[in-house]
Structure 1
Amino acid sequence: MPRPINAVQYQRHAIQLISSVLNTRANASPFTLILDDLNQRAIPFLQQLVIRALSRNINVVIVSFESTRFQPAVRNVSAWGNRTAATILADIEQALSDRKESLVIIDSMYDAVATKNIDTSTLFNLVVMKYTSNLVGVYHTDVLPEPSASGADAYAPQPLELLKFMATSIITCRSLSHVLAAKAARERSLAEPTFGMQSGAEGIVQCLHANDQRGIVLEAEFRRKSGRPESETYFLRPGRDSDFHQPVGPQQLYGTLKQEFVILLEQHPAFANKDAVGMVVAADDEMETSFNLGLTDKQKAAREGVVLPYFDAQKQEGGEGGRILYDMGEEDDFDEEEDEI
């Protein structure tokens, strides 16, 4: 697709990229990796994926390591407990075998890869290659990987790095309140605040205003077939009943989408408003110092009356521009013999 030439085309192109992922379009993103943490969970984004997929009669399969509540039409593959990798893969294949188009969601990719030792290549080939379906995996970035007991895997890539390498789209979830606070700090040339475990405070894993109810911020990276990545930041508000058409027939739980309501973050009123600077409560309006940086009128007049070095010499014409002017005082001792030398 040619590059946009104006702002309207740019916005339309950016919305189309994220809309293709949300609506599970074919070949839009075979493997989507979602990164979240306790400050902003990926649940609002996953809910939109499930609702829009069910509205288009797409088979939704959730491989659950953590989830316990599902939509009635969703097929659940339980992966917790003593289930082995071979059993989980067999159940996934059985859930995909009788449908033409499917969406597979794994709610904890770390547990799938590190705990159950599910081979990512085998999982990708099963879902994407064999059944031409879309794979979505959630990775919790605040879960620290366990150190290897043996030194055999010391040089092996970490699970997150391997998943990022394989993913065709990477979406990082952010809290809207935290994004606005970071923007306000940048506008005041202050250090951006840190949240959750990144703050380094003992005992803090989730900060105030986490999981903002107004919506979720999505930092998306789309990887094209040519290898050129495209990065955009979006805002996804909670869906409403008015955003969807009425279901057609008793078997359809959700109607199709009327109009896309995901927008670019720069289009959000709170982000575009310059008053967002006031959200930073950690910084005062003035710099706190032990001395006064200002000057009184008397001090300004004295400063203007100071004659700079070589100021008179610069007024001379010809070759005397570098002549030094010096007036001897009473305390100066003039040595005639040294002057003659």
Structure 2
Amino acid sequence: MSRPFNELQAQRHAIHLMSNLLSIRTNTSPFTLVLDDLNQRAMPFLQEMVIRGLSRNVKVILVSFEGTRIHPAVRQVPGWSARTGREILKGVEQAMSDHKESLVIIDNMYDTVVMKGIDITELFNLVVLKFASTLVGVYHTDMFVQPSASGTDAYAPQLLEILKYLATSIITCRSLSHVLAAKAARERSLPEPTFGMATGAEGIVQDLNANDPRGIVLEAEFRRKSGRPESETYFLRRAVTTDYHQPLQGRPFGTLKQEFVTLLRQHPAYSNTTATGVGGAAGNEMETSFNLALTDKQKAARENVVLPYFDAQKQEGGEGGRILYDMGEEDDFDEEEDEI
């Protein structure tokens, strides 16, 4: 596909990429890595994928380590109660064997690979290559990673780096409130605020404005077959009933009427450039107790002010810039200094 050459085409192209990812279109992204933390969980993004998958008659399988409340149409493979990783792989294979197209969601990739000992390559080959389905894995970036006890693995890459290398799409979840606060700080040339565990404060793991109910910000990186990545930031609001058609017989959800995921820069709260500071001043004004702006009368008076040495600039014959000075009675003329 040729690259868009104007802003409107670029917006349509970016929304089309995210729409295909959410709707689980074939070969859009075989392995999607979702990065979240306590300040913004990936649950709204995963719920939207589940709804759109079930509306298209896609088999949804959840390898659950954390989730307890799931939709009855979702096939659950309990990961927390499995004794070995082989048991989890066997459960996933059995759940996928009776359906043409499937969506496999793992809500904790760290526990899947590290705690249960599942080879990520084997899992990828099972879901993507053998059954030609879609794999979605969630990795919590604020999770404490235990160092390897073996000295031979001291220089081995971390699990997150391996997952990023294998992923065909990477989605980073951000809270809308935190994104807006960071943007307001940048516009005022102030340091961006930190939230949650990033503050370094003892006992702080989640900010008060975490998991904004208005929606979720998605920082997406799509990796094309050519190796060229495409990055964009989106805003996904919570879905409502009117966003979908009436479900067909035998399906829990109806198909999507119109795409409602948008680019973040199109969000009214983000595109508003008049960010208000603490003192009520606009983002591009200084917080002072007096007004620095000029009235029309003051501007006209400033234009009529004659600048120093302005007459010297009107001289002809290449003498522009010559200083004109008239000696007064109190001036003492020194002939010796003048000759030097």
Q: What's the TM-score bracket when you normalise by the shorter of the two chains?
A: 0.7 to 0.9
Partners in 2 of 1:205 and 1:88 — Cα distance?
Answer: 31
SS of 1:274 mapped into structure 2: coil
Q: Aligned partners of 2:62 and 2:98: how far apart in 1?
A: 16
Instruction: Tell me the alpha carbon deviations over residues 195-235 of structure 1, each in whole angstroms, 9 at most, x when there is no partner.
Output: 11112222111112111111101000000000000000000
Instruction: Find the residue that maps to 1:69 and give its secondary structure.
Output: coil
Task: Determine the structure 1 residue equivalent to 2:113.
Answer: 113
- 2:257 aligned partner: 258
Q: 1:315 to 1:57 in 2, by over 3 A?
A: closer
Matched with 2:323 is none
Percent identity reads: 69
Secondary structure of the 2:32 match is: strand
CA distance in 1, matches of 2:10, 2:314: 58
Q: CA deviation at 1:82?
A: 5.0
Q: Give distance in 2, aligned partners of 1:33 and 1:106.
A: 10
Matching residue's letter, 2:2: P
Deviations 1:254-279 (A, max 9, x none): 0011111101111111111123x22x
Give 1:190 shift: 1.1
Q: CA deviation at 1:288?
A: 8.4
- Partner letter of residue 4 of structure 2? P
The one-letter code matched in structure 1 to 2:8 is V
**Does the aligned pair in 1 maintain the 2:279–2:287 contact within 8 Å?**
no
In structure 2, the residue matched to 1:160 is: 160
Return the letter of the residue paired with 1:32: T
| C-alpha distance in 2 between matches for 1:283 and 1:88 | 57
Q: CA deviation at 1:83?
A: 2.1
Report the aligned-residue RMSD: 3.6
Shift of residue 287, structure 1, vs aligned partner? 6.6
- Confirm or deny that 1:267 pairs with 2:287: no
Report the Cα distance in structure 1 between the residues aligned to 2:286 and 2:119, rounded to whole angstroms: 55
Which residue of 2 is the match for residue 246 of structure 1? 246
Tell me what 1:334 maps to: none
Match status 1:7 vs 2:40: no
The AA in structure 2 aligned to 1:155 is: Y
In structure 2, relative to structure 1, the CA distance for the partners of 1:227 and 1:183 (3 Å cut) is same
1:282 CA drift (Å): 6.0
| 2:43 alignment counterpart | 43
Counterpart-to-counterpart distance in 2, 1:62 and 1:282: 45
Matched, 1:60 2:60: yes
Aligned twin of 1:103: 103
Amino acid at match of 2:180: L
**Residue 187 of structure 1: how far off its partner (Å):** 1.1
Give the whole-Å Cα distance in 2 for the aligned partners of 1:164 and 1:213: 28
Q: 1 CA distance for matches of 2:232 and 2:134?
A: 21
Structure 1 window deviating more from structure 2 (211-220 vs 108-117): it is 108-117
The answer to whether structure 1 residue 210 and structure 2 residue 210 are counterparts is yes
Is the Cα–Cα contact under 8 Å of residues 82 and 88 in structure 2 kept in the other structure?
no
- Find the aligned partners of 1:238 and 1:204 in 2 and give their Cα distance: 27
Report the 3-state secondary structure (helix = DSSP H, G, I; strand = E; otherwise coil) of the residue aligned with 2:156: coil
Tell me the residue number matched to 1:201: 201
Instruction: Find the aligned partners of 2:108 and 2:153 in 1 and give their Cα distance.
Output: 22
CA distance in 1, matches of 2:286, 2:57: 59
| C-alpha distance in structure 1 between counterparts of 2:218 and 2:135, whole Å | 18
Task: Tell me by how many angstroms 1:38 deviates.
Answer: 0.6
- Matching residue's letter, 1:169: S
Q: In structure 1, give the amino acid aligned to 2:269.
A: A
The code of the aligned residue for 1:230 comes to E
Q: Compute the displacement of 1:284 (Å).
A: 7.6
Aligned amino acid, residue 260 of structure 1: E
CA distance in 2, matches of 1:284, 1:208: 23
**Number of the residue aligned with 1:136:** 136
Provide the C-alpha distance between the structure 1 equivalents of 2:12 and 2:286, rounded to a whole number of angstroms.
43
Number of corresponding residues? 335
Give the Å deviation of 1:186: 1.1
Which SS does the other structure have where 2:15 is aligned?
helix
Distance 1:268 1:66, change over 3 A: same
Letter in 2 for 1:274: T
Q: Distance in 2 between matches of 1:168 and 1:284?
A: 45
SS where residue 235 of structure 1 aligns? strand
- After superposition, the Cα gap between the structure-2 partners of 1:92 and 1:82, relative to the gap in structure 1 and judged at 3 Å, is closer
Structure 1 residues 315 and 252: CA distance shift in structure 2, 3 A: closer
Alignment of 1:308-323 (within 5 A): none
Instruction: State the TM-score, normalized to the length of structure 1.
Output: 0.84
**CA distance in 2: counterparts of 1:82 and 1:61, whole angstroms:** 16
Counterpart AA for 2:272:
N
* Distance in 2 (alpha carbons) for counterparts of 1:198 and 1:284: 28
